[in-house]
């Protein structure tokens, strides 16, 4: 009887620990570098991998660079090219960080919570501190994350004539949406 009780306690504990980390393989990252001169540098990637730990507030996202889709093939070619993201050499973008106010979010109760995350954004092999702000919505056991950040292209050695000519924003907006 003691063995059965011990086994049950272990299984319940393992289930609780496993439930703390939620993952998704269909998060979306939207990239918006539009300017008054050009509305085309805008893309979306709907195959982003993400995780959130409801106990520690740890968050992580990984996006394949080549999975960003632009309406204009020429813009997509530039985006993946050597002077931009050089997707052949640096195939992914990652963010790893922590929700600063995770202790204020009740992941067990339906509601909408403001959230701030800080961490490291790695683009082209260059890691820089990054901050994102948004909301976490808890609804019927699902966790929905919406967050935005601005990224300085020069911090990641991204340059070129379109940036200098004002056709691409020097600080594009990056938005993340995920359901766990």
In this predicted model, what pLDDT tens digit does every residue of 60-74 receive, in sequence order? 999 999 999 999 888
The H or E element that residue 8 is part of is helix 2-20
Total length of the chain: 180
From the CA atom positions of the chain, what is the Rg in Å? Answer: 19
Task: Of 3, 151, 160, give the one whose Cα is nearest residue 78.
Answer: 160
**In angstroms, rounded to a whole number, what is the distance separating the alpha carbons of residues 24 and 89?**
25
What is residue 83's predicted lDDT score, i.e. its pLDDT?
A: 84
Residue 64's alpha-carbon distances to 76, 92, 165, in angstroms, are 13, 4, 27
**Structure tokens, 53:** 């730990």
Domains of the chain: 21-179 (2.40.128.110)
**Averaged pLDDT for residues 39-46:** 93
Q: What is the average pLDDT score of the chain?
A: 90
Q: Please give the pLDDT value at position 175.
A: 98
Q: Give the model's confidence band at 39: pLDDT under 50 very low, under 70 low, under 90 confident, else very high.
A: confident
C-alpha dihedral over 100, 104, 110, 116, to 10 degrees?
Answer: -20
CA atoms within 13 A on the CB side of 6: 3
pLDDT band, very low/low/confident/very high, at 159 (cuts 50, 70, 90):
confident
Residue with the bigger pLDDT between 142 and 164: it is 142
pLDDT value, residue 19: 58
Q: What is the pTM of this model?
A: 0.85
What pLDDT is attached to residue 18?
46
Q: How confident is the model at residue 160 (pLDDT cuts 50, 70, 90)?
A: confident
Q: What percent of the chain has pLDDT over 70?
A: 89
Q: Which tens digit of pLDDT belongs to each residue from 87-144?
A: 999 999 999 999 999 999 999 999 999 999 999 999 999 999 999 999 999 999 999 9
- Copy the structure tokens of residue 24: 């998704």
């Amino acid at each position: 009887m003691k063995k059965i009780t011990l086994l049950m306690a272990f299984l319940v504990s393992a289930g609780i620990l496993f439930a703390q980390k939620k993952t998704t393989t269909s998060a979306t990252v939207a990239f918006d570098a539009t300017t008054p001169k050009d509305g085309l540098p805008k893309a979306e990637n709907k195959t982003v991998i993400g995780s959130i730990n409801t106990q520690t507030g740890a968050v992580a996202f990984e996006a394949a660079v080549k999975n960003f889709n632009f309406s204009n093939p020429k813009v997509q070619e530039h985006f993946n090219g050597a002077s931009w993201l050089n997707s052949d050499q640096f195939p992914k973008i990652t963010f790893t960080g922590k929700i600063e106010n995770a202790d204020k979010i009740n992941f067990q109760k339906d509601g909408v919570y403001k959230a701030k995350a800080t961490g490291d954004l790695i683009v082209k092999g260059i890691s820089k501190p990054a901050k994102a702000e948004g909301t976490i919505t808890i609804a019927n056991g699902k966790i929905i994350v919406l967050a935005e950040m601005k990224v300085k292209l020069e911090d990641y050695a991204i340059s070129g004539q379109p940036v200098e000519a004002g056709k691409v924003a020097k600080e594009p907006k990056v938005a993340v949406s995920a359901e766990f």
